[in-house]
């Protein structure tokens, strides 16, 4: 159902569009709730325009176009969505709200699908080294803790490398995660060389036959050339032990910064060649459309999305499930 979150209209029209009032359980419910602000930004006001119309018209499309841009879907992705809807109108295939929803879903999934590639942990890569990067405040260290718990729940052995040596709090946070979940943490003193910490962690992980090493790094702006050079050094040091490592360079970005998240992703990708992105804090913003802009502009996998504070609120990204939750549609998986 089309979940118009901003306005409700009273009407006797039997084709009235109503918000889905079911209360689904599980991960999809968490995702749908977490994306409610962005979903409201995308569909808000459109319901009022549709009611009473015999077919979708230019006024509806103009409202949708504005909403998509406000939700930080981006110019290219917005144009693609509106272009496809316009084509369907011309072919007389967009007569009602259900057709509109299906068309939006299909086009949005087409944009996101190339980025919908789950992280693969290969047995021959032991340890699988996941280098976590991003700016301060994006939720990088918290994401590491959540990933560690997820991997552990899947039966993998995990080790953490406290490579954010600039912030004592970051080291302490990882150590707390480690103690709480019986996960070893390799750390040195504040101000220690990050590359040295991660090198030691890799040696230790190999000696203990650890499956996955999650390596934290200090937050840095993509404009700080000296700190970006330090990340390049970390990558070179890791490759001295294993020339295939790091097996994943995962950028963590905060959805609430909108288009700046795309700028960050482009710069980090240019410097390091990132392989995956985790988008956090989607539950606190109406700018979650930034995933479409990222998928449209970068050939990088979106691995996870964060829609809350709990472990289950960090979910593996799936294009169709994401769009269904965004548009408040039913999940076929339920």
Distance from C-alpha of 69 to C-alpha of 263, rounded to nearest angstrom: 16
Sheet holding 158-161, edge to edge: 185-186, 158-161, 212-215, 128-133, 248-254, 276-280, 301-306, 314-316
Return the pLDDT at 25: 53
Map residue 274 onto helix, strand or coil.
coil
Return the pLDDT at 222: 62
Which residue stretches of the chain are H helix?
Answer: 27-34, 36-43, 46-50, 58-70, 75-90, 97-112, 140-153, 168-181, 194-207, 225-241, 259-272, 290-297, 319-326
Per-residue confidence in pLDDT tens, the chain, 334 aa: 344 443 333 333 433 333 444 444 589 999 999 999 999 999 888 877 777 677 788 888 999 999 999 999 999 999 999 999 999 888 877 777 788 889 999 999 999 999 999 999 998 999 999 999 999 889 999 999 999 999 999 999 999 999 999 888 889 989 998 998 899 999 998 889 999 999 999 999 999 999 999 999 988 776 677 888 889 999 999 999 999 999 999 999 999 999 999 999 999 999 999 999 999 999 999 999 999 999 999 999 999 999 999 988 999 999 999 999 999 987 544 4
Identify the structural domains of the chain with CATH numbers, from first to last: 128-318 (3.40.50.300)
Radius of gyration of the chain (CA): 22
Return the pLDDT at 282: 97
Residue closest to 164 by CA, chosen among 132, 138, 199: 132
Return the pLDDT at 2: 43
Return the pLDDT at 255: 97
Return the pLDDT at 223: 65
Return the pLDDT at 100: 85
Bridge partner residues of 160 (DSSP): 185, 214
């Amino acid at each position: 159902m089309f979940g118009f979150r901003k306005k409700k209209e009273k009407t006797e029209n039997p084709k009235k569009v109503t918000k889905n009032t079911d209360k689904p359980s599980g991960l999809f419910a968490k995702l749908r709730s977490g994306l409610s602000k962005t979903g409201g930004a995308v569909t808000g006001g459109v319901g009022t325009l549709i009611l009473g119309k015999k077919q979708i018209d230019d006024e509806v499309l103009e409202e949708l176009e504005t909403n998509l841009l406000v939700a930080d879907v981006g110019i290219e992705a917005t144009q693609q969505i509106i272009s496809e809807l316009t084509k369907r109108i011309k072919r007389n295939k967009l007569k009602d709200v259900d057709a509109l929803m299906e068309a939006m879903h299909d086009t949005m999934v087409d944009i996101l699908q190339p980025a919908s590639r789950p992280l693969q942990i290969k047995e021959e890569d032991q340890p699988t080294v996941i280098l976590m990067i991003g700016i301060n405040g994006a939720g990088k260290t918290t994401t590491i803790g959540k990933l560690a718990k997820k991997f552990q729940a899947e039966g993998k052995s995990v080790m953490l490398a406290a490579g954010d040596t600039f912030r004592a709090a970051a080291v302490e946070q990882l150590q707390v995660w480690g103690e709480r979940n019986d996960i070893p943490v390799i750390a040195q003193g504040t101000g220690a060389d990050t590359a040295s910490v991660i090198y030691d962690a890799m040696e230790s992980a190999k000696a203990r036959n650890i499956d996955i090493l999650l390596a934290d790094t200090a937050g840095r702006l993509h404009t700080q050339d000296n700190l970006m050079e330090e990340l390049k050094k970390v990558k070179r040091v890791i490759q001295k032990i294993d020339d295939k490592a790091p097996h994943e360079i995962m950028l963590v970005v905060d959805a609430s910064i909108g288009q700046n998240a795309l700028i960050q992703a482009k710069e980090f990708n240019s410097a390091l060649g990132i392989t995956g992105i985790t988008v956090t804090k989607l539950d606190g913003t109406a700018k979650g459309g930034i995933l479409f802009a990222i998928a449209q502009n970068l050939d990088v996998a979106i691995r996870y999305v964060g829609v809350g504070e709990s472990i289950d609120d960090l979910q593996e990204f799936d294009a169709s499930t994401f769009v269904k939750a965004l548009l408040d549609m039913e999940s076929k998986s339920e």
